[in-house]
Amino acid sequence: MTITHRSQSTTSTQRDSWVEINLSALERNFLKLKDLTKTNIMAVVKADAYGHGATATAPILQSLGVHSFGVATIDEGIALRNAGIKTPILMLGATPFWSYDQCLKNDLTITLYSKDQITLLENFSKDLKSKIPVQIKIDTGMNRLGIDYKEGKEVIDSILNSSCFKLEGIFSHLSSAHDVDFSNLQKERFDSAVGAYKDIPKHIANSYAAINYPDFRYDLVRVGVAIFGQEYNFLEPIISVKGRITEIHKIYKDDYVSYNRTWQAKKDSLIATIPIGYADGVDKKLSNKLKAIYNDSLIDQVGNITMDQMMFDISDIKDGKVNDVITLIGKENEKEIAISDWAKELDTITWELICRLKIRLPRIYTRD
């Protein structure tokens, strides 16, 4: 493994716990997805590339020929431009009217989602020499952001007839991509609104639809979670989470570990502490449920996870030592723990948990 660079995610770099991002795996995932979908790929790198680091991952995707990037906010778009990204950037979310000039300055494409917003933009554009790059978002059932599909044609025609806008695409978003019937209904609604506009690029597919529904691919697919290797067995998770043992305690039968005494030793035990806790994005509800990999064995996390530290029972590990590395997320030889294992335990989704890991952990970028 080669460490390519380090980045400070928020506040800490001097820590013995960290996130590792394998950029070679990112490349492999992108190329596999490109090969499978055979269409343009917009890499969705919002929320700092789902916690993987947008400015570290986007240049690689750009060099591999990604079509464009999807972000949620202007700041995310500007950060990409400052990192040298030249490919188109679409702000998938809402853009505050007071920052339209920043969008133009940084060549960021605005999503149009309401008639009021279109009027605001038309007023803003009066003194402009250039047209405003936009994409129209059609709401086909998500009911979050977008022009109602029934009004789609009227709005698309008005944008095409307006001298203010450069229309770069029309898109919609699936609310329940795993549900074939509802996704088909959304696709039908989308087609009814956009079918007549042959020359305008169209897109509706997220990772799941891009992989599973070939006729949802249109002119490009918007892929987030799959590029980072989550959720699909044919792809590789690019993220690992690790911590070094800072202390090993010998405790005795019936001793407790951590706050509120939620774990009691059934026998004399060895307890290892690592410096990672819920303030780093590991949900406290995983207390006493987490497993980790240590010396090719699975070990149990014990006692309540605290803000900055957590403990493991390493009684069955031979020769455990301070400074050894424990892997919370990742693969070590035959053993693997994925974020989706945590998500199952917490009855939530991978997306939510992965974004949280950027809170305080330093990130190390590697190649294999």
Ligand X SMILES: Cc1ncc(COP(=O)(O)O)c(C=O)c1O
- Which listed range, 18-26, 29-37, 222-230, 329-337, lies at the site for ligand X (CB under 6 A)? 222-230
CA dist 42 and 205 (Å) reads 10
CA dist 301 and 57 (Å) reads 31
Q: How many residues bind ligand X (CB under 6 A)?
A: 11
In the complex with ligand X, which residue's Cβ is closer, 272 or 353? 353
User: According to CB under 6 A, which residues from 5 to 64 bind ligand X?
Assistant: 44
| DSSP per position, 56-76 | HHHHHHHHTT--EEEESSHHH
CA dist 141 and 335 (Å) reads 41
Tell me if residue 146 falls in helix, strand or coil. Answer: coil
User: Is residue 207 close enough to count as binding ligand X by CB under 6 A?
Assistant: yes
CA dist 24 and 228 (Å) reads 11
User: Is residue 224 close enough to count as binding ligand X by CB under 6 A?
Assistant: yes
Rounded (to 5) percent helix, strand, coil in the chain: 35, 30, 40
In the complex with ligand X, which residue's Cβ is closer, 57 or 206? 206
User: Is residue 354 close enough to count as binding ligand X by CB under 6 A?
Assistant: no
Q: Which of 166, 250, 253, 259 is catalytic?
A: 259
Spatial neighbors of 104 by CB under 8 A, at least 6 apart, are 128, 130, 132
In the complex with ligand X, which residue's Cβ is closer, 223 or 290? 223
Q: Which of 46, 187, 202, 291 is catalytic?
A: 46
Maximum separation of any 2 CA atoms in the chain, in Å: 78
User: Minimum distance between the CB of residue 44 and ligand X, rounded to whole angstroms?
Assistant: 4
- Please confirm, yes or no, whether 285 is among the known catalytic residues: no
User: Is residue 173 close enough to count as binding ligand X by CB under 6 A?
Assistant: yes
- Please confirm, yes or no, whether 46 is among the known catalytic residues: yes
Exactly one of 225, 235, 276, 326 binds ligand X (CB under 6 A); which one? 225
Binding pattern to ligand X, positions 72-111, x when CB under 6 A?
Answer: --------------------x-------------------
In the complex with ligand X, which residue's Cβ is closer, 23 or 91? 91
CA dist 134 and 122 (Å) reads 12
**Amino acid residing at 358:** K
Q: Which residues are catalytic?
A: 46, 259
The residues of the shown chain that bind ligand X, judged by CB under 6 A, are 44, 70, 92, 173, 206-207, 222-226
